[in-house]
Amino acid sequence: MRLLPILLLIISCITVEAADEYELQYPLGLKRMPIPETNELTAAKIELGKQLYFDPRLSRDDTVSCASCHDPKKGWSNGDHFATGVRGQRGGRSAPTIINSGYSYFQFWDGRAIMLEGQALGPIQNPIEMDLTLEECVAKLNAIEGYRKQFQAVFGTDVDSVGMAKAIASFERTVLSGNAPHDKFKAGDEKALSAAAQRGSKLFFGKANCSACHAGPNFSDFAFHNIGVGMDKSEPDVGRFSETQMLGDRGSFKTPTLREIARTAPYMHDGSVKTLEDVVEYYDKGGFANPQLDEELFPLKLTPEQKADLVTFLKEGLSSEDYPDIEPPTLPK
């Protein structure tokens, strides 16, 4: 009889844990995402991360949230050349989309952070973006009762930076895009792509050589390449070289996903290319020549019709009707 209360407690704990388990639903075209064993997904953790993601109180003047630069309404980017932070300060790189970012081991354009947990707290501490030290941010959130209660429920602690990173990363892993016309066409639906998009697809995976870097389910090899963008400047952004100090990485940046690419203009790491038509023109010319230019770049000599078909594929084929247009949550008080 003495064992009964203990057994009931164990059963209760198992029931609560099972009820909070969260299984990602992968849309057509995507593979299973690697989830760190130290940060398994739960519904409560994801909801907490969602609140943190959309909360401008994570910035010094309560004006900038993660969603300010990675806005669901703008392709989970910001629709501008550069990211803009507190006091209207502007960075020197565009805001990469969050879509399917959970598949990427290296984060940021230059790969300076590892996985989403390593990325999540960077913008908070950046003086141009959100301009708070982690200590200040933790103290600020601990003063909000709603956050304290949620952190206790999810992590068993008051607000801390480790829990913040895990929660934000968990939410970002749910921002998925698949089930696009390209995926349906590959699955056997011959009507999923227009004739022009089908021709563009053949170019993408053939003569245009796009898939040399934009490969796999996410249309990205998640590697770093120098395609010549910005290398004509007197002091170019050296990209990955700043992290590795390897000459071959000079001017290299991480290959972005092309899913939902029609929503994320302007393009390139510096937002210097306005439209997809301009992107195709840039690649057709073979990029900008420099000593570290990727060997996969060379003049394509596409016809105007082929360029138009390629753009049609990018716009039509990789835009999903299930786009993750997530609305901001009610924030804790």
Distance of CA 212 to the CA centre of its chain: 20
CB 117 within 8 A of CB 169: yes
| Token output for 182 | 């390209």
In degrees and rounded to multiples of 5, residue 107 shows phi and psi of -120, 160
In this structure, is the dihedral angle defined by the CA atoms of residues 127, 169, 66 and 268, taken in order, positive or negative? positive
Determine which helix (DSSP H) or strand (DSSP E) holds 253, and give its type and residue range: strand 253-254
CB 263 within 8 A of CB 319: yes
- Radius of gyration (Cα) for the chain, nearest Å? 22
End-to-end alpha-carbon separation of the chain, Å? 44
Distance of CA 91 to the CA centre of its chain: 18
**Cβ atoms within 10 Å, residue 15:** 10
Task: Give CA–CA dist 53/128, Å, rounded.
Answer: 18
129 is catalytic: yes
Determine which helix (DSSP H) or strand (DSSP E) holds 52, and give its type and residue range: helix 43-54
Exactly one of 117, 129, 260, 316 is catalytic; name it: 129
| Token output for 13 | 């704990």
Residue 84 per-residue DSSP state: B
Q: Which residues contact 26 (CB under 8 A, 6 or more apart)?
A: 32, 33, 176, 178
Determine which helix (DSSP H) or strand (DSSP E) holds 225, and give its type and residue range: strand 224-225
What are the C-alpha distances in Å from 44 to residues 50, 71, 202? 10, 22, 44
Could you list the active site residues?
129
